[in-house]
Structure 1
Amino acid sequence: MLFSRWAKACFALIFIATLFFIGSCSDDNSSDGLVNGQYLLIPDNHFEQLLVDQRIDTDGAINGQMLREDAEKVQRLDLNRDSHFGEIEDLTGIEGFTNITFLSAVGQNLENIDLSSNIQLDTLYLQNNYLTSLDLSRNTNLIMVNALVNELTSISGLEQATQLKELNLSYNYFEDFTINNASIEHLLMSDNLLTYFDSTEAPNLKSILLTTNKLTSVDLSSNPLMETVIISNNALQHINLENNPNLRHFYASSNVLTNLDVSQNTALLDLRVDRNPDLHCIKIESGQDIPTVSLSEHQELNEVCN
């Protein structure tokens, strides 16, 4: 009888200890949204379905998780290959794709995205989403970023992207914008709410698209490599182009310019300044030939403008 009670007591202690050990292991392994450190959580079924369809998520099931190992094998992640637009709302799990250099998540329902773990990215397509801010401070290898048609009012970390060449932020809600990046060459920011634009810390800019904003003045004196300036449909009153000898295309239609001097822009091929009601004379250099010119009836090109 004594032995039986002793045996039962020992069994109970062993059972309790086993439960405690299992519980402790379970708690440790489920930290940070991982199961045994091997799986990523993928809570968005549409995101996971695309990963399954592309045979990236190798278990082939929509179960809210995928092997971290599978994610780490991927270098290009295109979530638009099969025309699944407007479905993904949550890209949780993207943090496990640590080796991707290319990401396309166009036309989804994304309101935010965390790319801080995707430090190999060089190409990023995020057009037609609902992003209000974008932090790229960890994505130092970026070469091209397209965030056209979102609800962006801020973007941070661009100064860290020392290889950046092209940035498209058109059709957003920026009111002021300063670009501090020595490598960027092409910047598109049409159809925003810009009242202030500063490119003094972007010496290698070659083209800017700033149409349909609220800009009254723009200083391009720190951008000597500029070739294309498209700034139509603003409230532009004055612009100085003296330090832009490589300028080839200048569009400033539908503004309120009162004077314009392009006599230093001897490489100019295309000039469009119609619909500036108080701009009557555009100053050119003697013998300067501009192949394509668009003027209103009251405007003229002349070597002397009073």
Structure 2
Amino acid sequence: MLKRILLVSIALTIYTCSNESVESTNNQDPIIGRWGNFMDTYFACNGVEMILEEYSPYYSIDTFKPDGTVTLEGTFLGTIEGTWENVGNGNYKFSLLGFTETSNVQFVCDKNIMKIDDDGWGYIYYERENYDNSLCDEITINSNLVYVPDDNFEQYLVSKGWDNKLDDYVDFERIRGVYRLNIENLGISDLTGIEQFCSLEELYVDGNNLTSLDVSQNTLLSDLSLDNNPICCVKVNETQAANIPYGWDKSSSLSYSVDCESLDCSSGKTYIADSYFETVLKNMGYDDEVDNWVATENIKTIDSLNLSGKYISDLTGIQDFTQLGALIVNNNFIKSLDLSKNTNLYRLDVSNNQLSSLDLSENTRLYWLYVSKNQLSSLDLSKNTSLFWLNASSNQLISLDLSKNTNLFWLNLSSNQLNSLNLKNGNNSRITSFSIKYNINLTCVNVDDVTYSIANWTNKDSQTSFSENCN
């Protein structure tokens, strides 16, 4: 208990939660007995108690005797004698090495754990000799490792040299002095761990996927930018809430509150991740501010949307355009697209984007489909039996089965990597426009009638032939 008195020749001040003298049922003072020092803690700069060191065996064993004497024994201490006295109200007077100090003590876990305040710097923990402190659930101490569950966030910390590897943890000592974080556009969805960046003054997290953020422990934070995140409320402490710093994001769609849990961010609103997408909506009169949100009521009845060449890379929010029949979004930078909620689509043009996959299984009304100049290696159109017009040229398609697409009239599959193509749909005579050129690996195409295909489908490579059974 008194090891820091011995080492630095100063007295400890020890605190308790009790307002009365702690005594056992048989009136023996609870401090009497042999105590082993098994752990030291410290307070991080945000007040969180963290483990400084754990000891096995004990750092010291301190024996408090009924006659008011105390003996301290330890590898580095030798044997030191002193006195103790319970002076009431949880206060103890200790005399050691010529110093006398009145202090307080806290006992927990049926008085088997003694918690010593180290002059406000942290705590020194003792257990009764040979007590198993793992049985005590009344003490919860953070290790010096900070939990960082988001791999994209942790990878940034690794890249800055503040962490060594992706394992969901970072050493507190390596981040406690960080005052600026620029983590924009990294795909971060969870900033758990940010609370331990207690020196943080500037946080720039634009263009991520955050739906929640707690900065209530980042008391030095003066600059905060959150553009292009699906978040409407940031949790703060009462002091911050009373005076939001000038440099914090002041978007009208963003709130700062000590109780974000009671707010429903999505109520009546649709999140629009891409500012270019939202700008188009604003210019069309469906939105009044580029703030990542649009009133769902304003968009739910839109039946046609032309977004051609608008520099859009993310169509998040399109799911709430539930009446959308025609979507023209060619010549943009879109890498992924979820149209599963847009079941009324009959016309789709996503040509000249960066799509590597596209799921159209819910879009059974599709009639016109333009997916050329993407990076598609596969395309399942088995559910799109109404398909009339298909342009899938200039992709990376390896095989394609159109045997279920009996309504096909116009077909362009040129400039792919096809080695398998099934056009045997029972209605080949309907296909009057046809191109499968520049597929150097395609040697055989399954068709209804070889004679008809040879006569009418000439826009193919010389090595490509037609057969009613390519197998």
Q: Tell me which interval the TM-score lies in, with the shorter structure as reference length.
A: 0.5 to 0.7
- The residue aligned with 1:71 is 299
Q: CA deviation at 1:22?
A: 6.0
Alignment pair present for 1:151 and 2:378: no
- The residue aligned with 2:276 is 46
Match of 2:400, SS state, is strand
Encode CA deviations 1:238-297: one digit per residue, 9 max, x unaligned. 4459xxxxxxxxxxxxxxxxxxxxxxxxxxxxxxxxxxxxxxxxxxxxxxxxxxxxxxxx
| Partners of 1:78 and 1:47 in 2: CA distance | 11
| Partners of 1:22 and 1:202 in 2: CA distance | 63
- Decide whether aligned partners of structure 1 residues 193 and 101 sit closer, same or farther in structure 2, where only a CA change above 3 A counts: same
Which structure carries more strand by proportion?
Answer: 2
Query: In 2, are the aligned partners of 1:119 and 1:141 still within 8 Å (CA)?
Result: yes
Match of 2:411, SS state, is strand
Query: In 1, are the aligned partners of 2:427 and 2:448 still within 8 Å (CA)?
Result: no
| Partners of 2:299 and 2:305 in 1: CA distance | 10
Question: Whose relative contact order is higher, 1 or 2, with alpha carbons under 8 Å and at least 6 apart?
Answer: 1
Which of 194, 201, 222 is 2:418 aligned to?
194
- The residue aligned with 1:169 is 392
| Partners of 2:261 and 2:407 in 1: CA distance | 51
| Partners of 1:160 and 1:127 in 2: CA distance | 20
- The residue aligned with 2:359 is 135
- Decide whether aligned partners of structure 1 residues 138 and 223 sit closer, same or farther in structure 2, where only a CA change above 3 A counts: farther
- The residue aligned with 1:255 is none
- The residue aligned with 1:292 is none
Encode CA deviations 1:83-103: one digit per residue, 9 max, x unaligned. 53xx11100000010001000
Map 1:205-244 → 2, pairs under 5 A: 205-207=430-432, 208-214=434-440, 215-221=442-448, 228-236=456-464, 238-239=465-466
| Partners of 2:357 and 2:412 in 1: CA distance | 17
Encode CA deviations 1:22-55: one digit per residue, 9 max, x unaligned. 65432xx23xxx2x2x000011101101111111
| Partners of 1:198 and 1:53 in 2: CA distance | 44
| Partners of 1:210 and 1:123 in 2: CA distance | 22
Q: CA deviation at 1:232?
A: 3.0
- The residue aligned with 2:427 is 203
Query: In 1, are the aligned partners of 2:421 and 2:445 still within 8 Å (CA)?
Result: yes
More displaced, 226-235 or 193-202?
226-235
Q: Kindly report the root-mean-square deviation, in angstroms, between the aligned alpha carbons of the 2 structures.
A: 2.5
Q: Structure 2 counterpart of 1:172, which letter?
A: N
Which of 115, 119, 124 is 2:348 aligned to?
124
| Partners of 1:111 and 1:152 in 2: CA distance | 11
Structure 1 vs Structure 2: percent identity of aligned residues?
Answer: 27
- The residue aligned with 2:262 is 25
Encode CA deviations 1:99-128: one digit per residue, 9 max, x unaligned. 010000011000110000111110001110
Unaligned residue ranges in structure 1 (runs of 5+): 1-19, 242-306
Which structure carries more helix by proportion?
Answer: 1
| Partners of 2:332 and 2:293 in 1: CA distance | 20
| Partners of 1:106 and 1:94 in 2: CA distance | 15
Encode CA deviations 1:136-180: one digit per residue, 9 max, x unaligned. 111111110001111111122x22223211111000001111113
Match of 1:133, SS state, is coil
| Partners of 2:360 and 2:466 in 1: CA distance | 31
Query: In 2, are the aligned partners of 1:184 and 1:202 still within 8 Å (CA)?
Result: no
- Decide whether aligned partners of structure 1 residues 171 and 55 sit closer, same or farther in structure 2, where only a CA change above 3 A counts: same
Q: Radius of gyration: which is bigger?
A: 2
Q: Structure 1 counterpart of 2:398, which letter?
A: E
| Partners of 2:462 and 2:284 in 1: CA distance | 45
